[in-house]
Structure 1
């Protein structure tokens, strides 16, 4: 899946985010550039970075992949991540909030 992302610092081309189940989120970024921000009076000098980001998920069988190995074949990985689609739809914001409330209730013993 490809999105346009805004960040407060220059992004790395490859970011891996391991998950507890052994899978890993893969973020590939290209065409990063600083853009003018419409932040009002709060941070008048802010110039966020904007880039194209392809997001995919690596299975536990790809745990040996590193930013270096992925960067070596960046275009191939970009094609993979761009075509990647989740098996399940993303939860809605309300579903995410409900999950947080449920977790907090369990933690607090409510």
Structure 2
């Protein structure tokens, strides 16, 4: 998702949570840009920072997030499988193993 900031954002914003996980914002393509707004038929230009941003919640440490930044950014949009989906995959694998003996 493209986001806008008034000041230059950090590549990684790591926010530890009380349960031991962290809310993490991953940002790529950080660049300065000019944004136009119109106020009473008058165009006003403002310098802003833009970035492609993804958000994840993880149990990884900040160092692990930094070390795996590219992979995390690529997979951030993929939802984690539900417990039911994980069990279904395991049941399917067990059924295949037992039927092929």
Structure 1 alignment gaps of length 5 or more:
88-110
What is the deviation of 1:16?
0.8
Residue 29 of structure 1 is matched in structure 2 by: 27
- Whole-angstrom CA distance in 2 between matches of 1:84 and 1:9: 30
Q: Is the 8 A contact 1:56 1:80 kept in 2?
A: no
Match of residue 77, structure 2, among 68, 82, 91: 82
Pairwise CA RMSD: 2.3
The aligned counterpart of 1:71 is 66
Which portions of structure 1, spanning 4 or more consecutive aligned residues, are displaced by more than 3 angstroms?
none
Greater C-alpha radius of gyration: 2
Asked if structure 1 preserves the Cα contact closer than 8 Å seen for 2:36 and 2:45, the reply is no
TM-score (norm 2): 0.61
Give the TM-score, by structure 1 length: 0.56
Report the Cα offset of residue 22 of structure 1. 2.6
In the alignment, structure 2 segments of 5+ residues that lack a partner are 83-101
Structure number with the higher strand fraction is: 2
Asked if 2 retains the 8 angstrom alpha-carbon contact of 1:26 and 1:81, the reply is: no
**Residue correspondences, number:** 77
